[in-house]
Chain A
């Protein structure tokens, strides 16, 4: 059992690279709305290894946040988990009862929320917010004594780069970056196996963003925890993630190690996403992706990306890259069959008819 000062005895084992920590299989999260059923997360599968950092990108409305929240069963109605399994270190999270799930949160899987500005309770001192978390997620009778807990609070604050005296401050006395550090301290208070971070730095300046991300990385490495970082900033993903998942209209359309996905993106959407990234080296490299994300009430038939797909639509400035591939593409499939996510090479998954024959 993880007590406040326990060191994970399995730290070495956790570095085994083939060691799967999180396995998500055919996860479906639907919203029941007046306009119809919205399939926000539709048949998503992936695995995350112990100690690995995964990024998850997608446009707003792609289902990335809904998916992340569902992993912790923190999705809010009208969202319901309509199917699939989530296995964390051998435990099937969707089969747990509410009390068991509550004990799993923070101890095994913890959340660093979006905009810590609002996630801290304004009338509690920092110390109380941290102790509160520990208390709520530690089984009755296993709560360590007050002195041990206080010691742990200082230890946690130091681990996120804050002075011990911050413990006695209220959230309004802290800057945005300091609040986000407190949120990191809360999330890591029980040394979870997995940390879920939903755009943790979206409201912060680049300088502070870098400090927070490096602090998160440091904590993660020290605990050998896995991280799922949800966001839309490909730059941040390139800086932080080991593997990247790309979501589009409720589907995971590509999953690959970060270097490979930047070097050789397979899915046309990922391709577009990466080629349209602005940089500070060359001017005029800023193009964007035409069209709007589809409505998920009535998604486009076949591949959900086909109305915006540069290959399907045979965009001139995109032809060179894919000319050979397109020759063998049966574009009829794009409008009729939703391409499944297939493994092309170990740890390279893509959902696109272009690679039909390769899988």
Chain B
């Protein structure tokens, strides 16, 4: 394992062989250029792993600009990290051989946000499903290929009579999105990275689509990374959660604990702002923590400018992820006292209750 020289060394982070995919101190910086201005740290020193055994559903939650989509793209190998490394079966994704790369592409599958964008309107939906079968040589002949496609459609609750042979515009948004799930399923991947898979569909269809994603995890043991801004669905389908704010993981742990008993002031603000479907429990009327737009701080905690509990050290140095309990960790100095130790990799927290 070639160890790269990093600005921020990874203390004691020996490669975890139990992980299919592992992010080690991954940082992604956009922009900069000649002027070194407008640097955006989209993902800031994130370490996490996806285990081979009993992979759950892990939600990555945050608002726009939190870095959650960048994290997804890093995991999918679409973009390389600026610092740190991403390992697939203990091999650095940046240096995979051609063969290993094909395997990586099959094993780590995306489900994208907008099911309208991924379809070529001139091809029937069959094309979307047959392309991976052909590209990865999943079937020996045409009828076997068709059987595979039909089977994967049925798994996500679609009848092939109502989908195959049709053009994308003849299908509803929900059907299109489920076809994307079926497509991911065809390849029997180890990991599915779903980026806001239900943000474009009606509330009544969300349950069905998330249900089929849940099925992939429970029945087929596929690890799911569920990228979302919606804490309610994250709570409903995930086991673990990472809450991101401006590139950092501010809180992580078991989803029930993080959402029902949030420890980071930002998570608390997020949870408090969820429009609860109960007229008897209306939002608090205080308008504290106003979003002011461009209040980015380069040093210290990114949330400090909006934080109601800000202390002097918050603006000096980024706090580490303190373990606040057996199943939870928060990147906040409020938890330095009584912390059960610093967390090096997000998945260390998940392991403690898996």
Contacts and interface: CB of A to CB of B under 8 A. Distances in A.
Interface of A: 59-60, 161, 174-178, 205-211, 213-214, 232-236, 238-239, 258-259, 262, 272-274, 276-281, 283-290, 292
B215 to A, nearest CB: 14
A286 B205 CA distance: 11
Contacts, number: 125
Contact of A278 (B205, B229, B236): B236
Interface in B256-282: 256, 259-260, 269-271, 273-280, 282
Nearest to A281: B260
Among A60, A274, A284, max chain B CB count under 10 A is at A60
B35 interface: no
Contacts of A214: 283, 285, 287
Interface residues of B, number: 44
B277 A274 contact: yes
Q: Sort A-B residue pairs by CB-CB distance and give the 6 closest, nearest first.
A: A288-B207, A235-B275, A205-B63, A289-B204, A210-B273, A206-B273
26 contacts: A60-B202, A174-B293, A175-B293, A177-B293, A205-B63, A206-B274, A206-B275, A207-B269, A207-B270, A209-B273, A211-B290, A213-B275, A235-B232, A235-B277, A236-B275, A239-B283, A276-B203, A278-B232, A280-B259, A280-B260, A280-B276, A281-B260, A286-B211, A286-B233, A288-B204, A288-B211
B287 A205 contact: no
Contacts of A283: 235-236, 256
B289 interface: yes
Contacts of B280: 259
B283 A286 contact: no
B273 A207 contact: yes
Contacts of A278: 207, 232-233, 235-236
Contacts of B278: 238, 262, 279
Given A206-B63, A209-B273, 7 more contacts: A206-B274, A232-B202, A234-B277, A238-B275, A280-B232, A280-B235, A283-B235
Interface of B: 63-64, 172-174, 202-208, 210-211, 229, 231-233, 235-237, 256, 259-260, 269-271, 273-280, 282-283, 285, 287, 289-291, 293-294
A180 to B, nearest CB: 11
Contacts of B229: 205-206
Contact of A206 (B208, B231, B277): B231
Contact of B291 (A208, A239, A292): A208
Contact of A177 (B204, B274, B285, B291): B291
A211 B277 contact: no
Among B173, B202, B204, B256, max chain A CB count under 10 A is at B204
B269 to A, nearest CB: 6
Given A214-B285, A280-B271, A286 B279 contact: no
Among B202, B275, B290, max chain A CB count under 10 A is at B275
Nearest to B271: A280
A207 B293 contact: no
